[in-house]
Every structure is written in structure tokens, then in C-alpha cells.
Amino acid sequence: MAVLKAKKAAPSSSTIKVLRQEIAELKKLKAELITVIASQRAELDRARKSLIELGADPIVRSMQRNFRNKRAKE
């Protein structure tokens, strides 16, 4: 009787095989997502750099505004 209960509690080899396949697929998906996130971050960094070079950086723009306001008051 104890042997039958132990067999029912243990997962079958096919279940283990399916779970291992799912784990492998999830690992592949994780690697793909990491790659996509890295490329998106790189693209965002390039876009920020371009904006800064064009003078569209918010910090630079506020500094320019402040400088213009100081010159106008003098």
C-alpha cells in the first residue's frame, strides 16, 4: 500500500520531461528578452545623446533660458 502511495506522489517521467522542456523554453525566452531590453536601452542612450547634441536636453535648455533672462535684465 505504501508503494502505491509513493508512486502516486511521484511525478511521471513524461511530466518531468515536459516540465524540463518548458524550463528550457522559458530560459530561451528570458535570454531573448534580455537581448531586446539591452538593444532598447542602447537605442534610448543614442537618442538621448542626439538630443543633447541638438541642444534639446531639458537641463541645457533651462540653463539657456536662465542665461537669456539674466542678459535681458542687465
Task: Give the residue, 33 or 10, on which the prediction is more confident.
Answer: 33
Vertex 9 angle, CA 7 and 13, to 5°: 65
Cell of 52: 543633447
- pTM of the shown model: 0.53
The pLDDT tens digits for 5-32 are: 555 667 778 888 999 999 999 999 999 9
The answer, yes or no, to whether residue 69 has pLDDT greater than 70, is no
Instruction: Give CA–CA dist 59/35, Å, rounded.
Output: 31
Residues 51 and 57 sit within 8 Å (Cβ to Cβ) = yes
What was the pLDDT predicted at 51?
78
CA distance linking residue 73 with residue 66, whole number of Å: 11
**Mean pLDDT in the chain?**
78
- The backbone torsions φ and ψ at residue 36, rounded to the nearest 5 degrees and listed phi first, read -65, -45
